[in-house]
Amino acid sequence: MRVQRLATRNRLGALLMLVTGAGVATAGWSYHVGTLKAMGAGFMPVILGVFLCLIGFALLVTDRGVDQTNKSHAASVDMRGALCILLGVGAFVILGGLLGLVPASFASVFLSALGDRKNTVRDALYLAIAATLVGVCIFHYGLHLQLPLFSRG
Amino acid sequence: MHQSTIDLWYGFSIALQPGNLIWAVVGVLIGNLVGVLPGMGALSTISMLLPLTYPLAPVPAILMLAGVFYGSMYGGAIGAILLNLPSHPPHAVTCLDGYPLTKMGRGGAALGITMMSSFFAASVGIIVMVFLSPALVRVATRFGPAEISSIMLMGLVAGATMSRGSPLKGLAMTVFGLICGTVGTDTTSGVIRLAFGMTDLSDGIELGALCMGLFGVADFIVSVNRLNTSSVRPKVTMKDMRPTGAEIKKSILPMFRGTLIGTLFGALPGTGPTITSFLAYALERRISRNPERFGKGELAGVASPEAASHSKTQMDFIPTMSLGIPGDAIMALLLGALIIKGIQPGPQLISDHPDVFWGLIASFWVGNILLVFLNIPMIGIWVRMLRVPYRFLFPLATFFICIGVYCARNSLFDVGEVAAFGVIGALLLIFDFPVAPIVLGYVLGPLLEENFRRALLLSNGSFLVFVEHPICAVFVSFSVLIAGVQIFSFIRRPPRQKADVSLPTPRFPLR
């Protein structure tokens, strides 16, 4: 059962390489490829894309149904944690542009802290307030970061 | 040789002037601090401090900025070993064995060994720089694009095989890194490639965003709520920093080998400290009698790459200062600072501005001695950072990563790239791909493409150029040899038994 799952994972990884390689090679083809003597912009992407495809194919063929790296800690990812961390980074991007440094800092720490199941809302709140204060002191007053503390769009 | 000694003496008289010394100290202090902070790199710090140096004279300005750079190298090793966060790409490889050592309770000793090898390697690098600088410069000027491409090829092949597990997967990631390097405006034709219509990508992917996404955010994503937090809070005191006699004995030879690699590769323009530290690690693993212990807390895997990157860091200044060819983005920034000061980089710099060149070299020594003495008593502060439980640490690190990446170019788009590479990195980790070779491919990609193009243009499209030039032939045959040995051992290896799969193994993200 376990071996089977690993095999599926290996094959999915190989397919991912195949698809990525094919995509890059196709995109490269749309630029000017050129010749060996005078390479165009598309030359490298096409070569690299094809090469990645070949590796993906080789991975599929040589897949022996066992995990070559003999470990698999990343086999399952906690969805809540992953989502919260990505939301935290995303909040920094969106709020940084819309509202300024303070809301962006607060939201990024608060949201990503909620990703850990052991953190309560109150923990996250305190952590976010502390991080925002320290961040503002270091980056706004200390290093004169060009992001305003508060802004409106 | 005699002349070099006199010049060095003159350099010390420049570096020890109070006005210069104080700025060098400020530089290494700031560098050390930002090196420890996850998500803050030398690159963003130097960019931020650049405006501060405008009122300064050229010598203190360059001493301070260079101090930030090598100070962050020391600090970066601390972050890599104790926090598993490489804030500067060369330390990615230090995480591989440094962090398992921390989990085994030998993080302090690993730091002690790192300090020892860093200082030794930096000193060797400085000595070589002083005495062989003119000769090395003459050799380096003879390298054509074909030679540079073949050296890079070897670096890439070695980097791909360095990764744990399947060499094919390592190779796939190296190629993926090269593809990441092609994103953005093509320098020759001006065509914007693989940008998905986003104008922000026309400058290419930001190095800091790539590293922090792959090594920071991706790691948080796969380890949140999965990590046994008790294992990441080691106790390191000043006493623990003293490695045992056996540990020192074990690290001496790797330290020498690492220094040698760093010094050899240091003279070649275009090979950054990342490649050298990866190569040093690969070499240690190859020649080790028990290579399976690498990645699980082997001191040689810390001593050698750290020594390599430190001697390389010093050597990097040779092409930068004497040829005006920067090895990486940081060197380019330092050159930029010199140009702002009205100093034209190039072969005439040493003779036209001896105070800048020799003062800088002497200040390396002063700064390195300072860093060793600074880091031993301050280790308590770095360790206190570790007492913070993981559930508090990763939100804070996420925040520092966001703001640090934003600092580098004042671009929120770059922070978005962090999120994108966080997702990509997490996916790759789930599929058991090693993510470290991506950075190597990314850094080398544009340089390789440029030199490869030029080499084939000069040879009229004939590949024979890579075999006919003796230097090329050596490097190309080494690459073929490394790849051949890998493929051979892969084909010969029998399929592993099921029992092997279920072995409990330590967790660490960089594979």
Integer angstrom CA distances of residue B336 from B250, B269, B300: 41, 17, 37
Chain B positions in Cβ-Cβ contact with residue A55 (cut-off 8 Å): 168, 171-172, 175
Nearest Cβ partner of A16 from B225, B431, B460? B431
B503: in domain? no
Alpha helix ranges (H) inside B410-464: 412-430, 436-458
**B440 min Cα distance to partner chain A (Å):** 15
> Among B76-90, B185-199, B465-479, where is mean pLDDT lowest?
B76-90
Both tokens of B1, joined, read 């040789």
> Which residues in chain B are closer than 8 Å to A147, comparing Cβ atoms?
406, 410
- Of B203, B152, B194, which Cα lies nearest the Cα of B174? B152
Whole-number pLDDT of residue A70 = 43
Q: Report the run of H or E that residue A43 belongs to, with start and end.
A: helix A43-62
**Highest-confidence range of A42-56, B232-246, B379-393, by mean pLDDT?**
A42-56
Banded model confidence at residue A71, pLDDT cuts 50, 70, 90: very low
Judged by CB atoms closer than 8 Å, whether chains meet at B172 and A55 is answered as yes
* Total number of domains constituting chain B: 1
Residue type, B410: N
Which pLDDT value is given to residue B126? 86
Alpha-carbon separation of residue A52 from A22, A42, A153, B174, B307 (angstroms): 8, 15, 42, 9, 33
- 3-class DSSP state for residue A144? coil
The pLDDT assigned to A22 comes to 95
Whose structure tokens read 């897949």?
A63
Amino acid found at B398: T
Other Cβ atoms within 10 Å of B134 Cβ, number: 12
pLDDT of residue B416: 94
* Residue tagged 């990314």 (tokens): B442
Residue B430 lies in a domain: yes
Cβ atoms of B310 and B262 within 8 Å: the answer is yes
Report DSSP state, residue B192: E
In the predicted structure, residue B295 carries a pLDDT above the cut 70 = yes
Please identify which residue in the block is written with the tokens 């003496």.
Answer: B9
pLDDT at res. B503 = 26
Smallest CA–CA separation between A46 and chain B, in Å? 10
Highest mean pLDDT among B135-144, B172-181, B236-245: B172-181
pLDDT of residue B370: 86
Please say whether the beta carbons of B305 and B277 come within 8 A: yes
Q: Is A73 on the interface with B (CB under 8 A)?
A: yes
A137 in contact with B, Cβ within 8 Å: no
pLDDT higher than 50, residue A4: yes
Cα(B288)–Cα(B281) distance, integer angstroms: 10
Check: CB of residue B183 under 8 Å from CB of residue A67.
Answer: no
Band (A2; pLDDT cuts 50, 70, 90): low
The rounded mean pLDDT for chain A is: 86
Tell me the pLDDT band of A56, cut-offs 50, 70 and 90. very high
Read off the pLDDT of residues B20-53 as tens digits, 9 standing for 90 and up: 899 998 898 888 877 776 555 676 667 667 766 7
**B224, A51: Cβ pair inside 8 Å?**
no
Q: Is residue B498 predicted with pLDDT exceeding 50? A: no
Please judge whether A74 and B222 are an interchain contact, meaning their C-beta atoms are less than 8 angstroms apart: yes
Element (H, E) at B235: none
> Of B50, B402, B412, B423, which to mutate for an interface test with A (greatest number of A Cβ within 10 Å)?
B402
**Three-state secondary structure call for residue A79:** helix
* Distance of alpha carbon B285 from alpha carbon B298, whole angstroms: 10
Residue B36 token pair: 């420890």
d(CA B220, CA A116): 10
Question: What 3-state DSSP class applies to B193?
Answer: strand
Longest dimension (CA), chain A: 64
- Which tens digit of pLDDT belongs to each residue from B312-348? 888 877 767 766 666 565 776 787 778 778 887 666 6
Q: Say whether pLDDT at B496 is over 80.
A: no
pLDDT at residue A47 in the model:
94
Query: Is the CB of residue A108 less than 8 Å away from at least one CB of chain B?
Result: yes
Name chain A contacts of B403, Cβ cutoff 8 Å.
92, 105, 135, 139, 145
A11 touches chain B (CB under 8 A): no
- Print the domain residue range for B194: 2-493
CA atoms within 13 A on the CB side of B79: 29
Of A31, A62, A68, the CB nearest to B193: A31
Ramachandran bin of B360, using left for φ above 0, alpha for ψ from -120 to 50, beta for the remaining angles: alpha
Give the nearest partner residue to A41 out of B189, B396, B422, using CB atoms: B189
Hey, is the C-beta of A100 within 8 angstroms of any chain B C-beta? no
pLDDT over 90 (residue A32): no
By CB atoms closer than 10 A (0-12, 13-18, 19+), residue B237 is exposed
* A52–B175 C-beta distance less than 8 A: yes
Helix (H) or strand (E) holding B173, with range, is helix B167-182
Give me the pLDDT at residue B190, please.
85
Percentage above 90 pLDDT, chain A: 55
Per-residue pLDDT of B272-294, as tens digits, reads: 567 788 888 888 888 888 778 88
Is B511 among the domain residues?
no
Model confidence at A72, pLDDT cuts 50, 70, 90, reads: very low
User: What is the per-residue pLDDT across A139-150, written as a single tens digit (0 to 9) for each?
Assistant: 888 777 888 898
What are B472's two structure tokens?
């090329």
Q: Mutation target for B interface from A16, A33, A53, A71: give the one with most B CBs within 10 A.
A: A71
pLDDT at A24 over 50: yes
- Poorest-confidence range of B31-40, B187-196, B413-422? B31-40
Q: Give the integer Cα–Cα distance in Å for B423 and B498.
A: 30
Q: B71-82 pLDDT, tens per residue?
A: 888 888 887 887
The secondary structure of residue B493, as a DSSP letter, is S
The pLDDT tens digits for B93-131 are 888 888 888 878 788 888 888 888 888 998 998 888 887
What pLDDT score does B499 carry?
32
Residue B265 domain-assigned (yes or no): yes
The pLDDT of residue B309 is 86
* CB–CB contact A72 B399 (8 Å): no
The CA-atom distances, in angstroms, between B66 and each of A83, A140, B149, B362 are: 39, 24, 28, 12
Structural contact between residues B319 and B269, judged by C-beta atoms closer than 8 angstroms:
yes
Name the minimum distance, in Å, from the CA of B268 to any CA of chain A: 24
Nearest by CB to residue B172, choosing from A31, A52, A110, is: A52
Q: What 3-state class would DSSP assign to A34? A: strand
Residue of B30, B224, B405, B452 to mutate for A, most A C-beta atoms under 10 A: B224
User: Cβ contacts (< 8 Å) between A124 and chain B: which residues?
Assistant: 395
Task: Answer whether A89 touches B (CB < 8 Å).
Answer: yes
Q: Are A16 and B188 an interchain contact pair (Cβ–Cβ within 8 Å)?
A: no
Residue A111 CA to residue A91 CA, distance in Å, equals 8
Please report the residues numbered 449 through 508 in chain B whose beta carbons come closer than 8 angstroms to any beta carbon of chain A: 449, 453, 456-457, 460-461, 463, 490, 495-496, 498, 500-503, 505, 507
Task: Please tell me what DSSP assigns to residue B237.
Answer: -
Q: What is the pLDDT of residue B337?
A: 79
Q: How far is Cα B13 from Cα B362, in angstroms, rounded to an integer?
A: 9
Average pLDDT score over residue span B66-75? 85
Query: Which residues make Cβ contacts (< 8 Å) with residue B426, sequence separation at least 6?
Result: A74, A77, A82, B217, B218, B221, B222
**Residues of A in Cβ contact (< 8 Å) with B457:** 37-39
| Contact with chain B for residue A66, Cβ under 8 A | yes
| pLDDT greater than 70 at residue B394 | yes
- DSSP string over B291-310: GGGTTS--THHHHHHHHHHH
Cβ pair A92, A104 in contact under 8 A:
yes
Q: What is the CA radius of gyration of chain B?
A: 22
Q: In Å, what is the CA distance from B335 to each residue of B51, B56, B345, B448?
A: 14, 16, 7, 22
Over residues B147-176, mean pLDDT: 78
Return the closest-CA partner of residue B302 out of B111, B33, B440: B111
Average pLDDT, chain B: 78
pLDDT > 90 fraction of chain B, expressed in percent and rounded: 6
DSSP-derived 3-state class of residue A73: helix
Q: What Rg, from alpha-carbon coordinates, does chain A have?
A: 23
B292 in contact with A, Cβ within 8 Å: no
Nearest neighbour of A27 by CB, restricted to B194, B217, B428: B194
Secondary structure letter of residue A39 according to DSSP: B
- The answer to whether the CB atoms of B217 and A85 lie below 8 A apart is yes
Q: Which residues of B touch A118 (CB under 8 A)?
A: 391
Please check whether residue B217 touches A, CB under 8 A.
Answer: yes
Residue A134 has pLDDT above 60, yes or no: yes
**Containing H/E element for B184?**
strand B184-185
Chain A nearest CA to B488, separation (Å): 14
| Residue A57 in contact with partner chain B when CB distance is under 8 A | no
Residue B105 in any domain: the answer is yes
Measured CA to CA, the distance from residue B16 to residue B21 in angstroms comes to 5
B399/A contact by beta carbon, under 8 A = yes
Which chain A residues are Cβ-neighbours of B503 within 8 angstroms?
70-71
Helical (H) or strand (E) element with B185: strand B184-185
Question: Cβ A6–B501 below 8 Å, yes or no?
Answer: yes
pLDDT average, residue stretch A57-65: 80
d(CA B65, CA B20): 12
Q: Would you state the pLDDT for residue A87? A: 96
**CA B68 from centre of chain:** 15
Taking the C-alpha atoms of residue A16 and residue B89, their distance in angstroms, rounded to an integer, is: 26
Contacts of B178 in chain A (CB under 8 A): 44, 48
Count the alpha carbons within 13 Å of B233 in the hemisphere toward its beta carbon: 13
Instruction: Establish if B134 belongs to a structural domain.
Output: yes
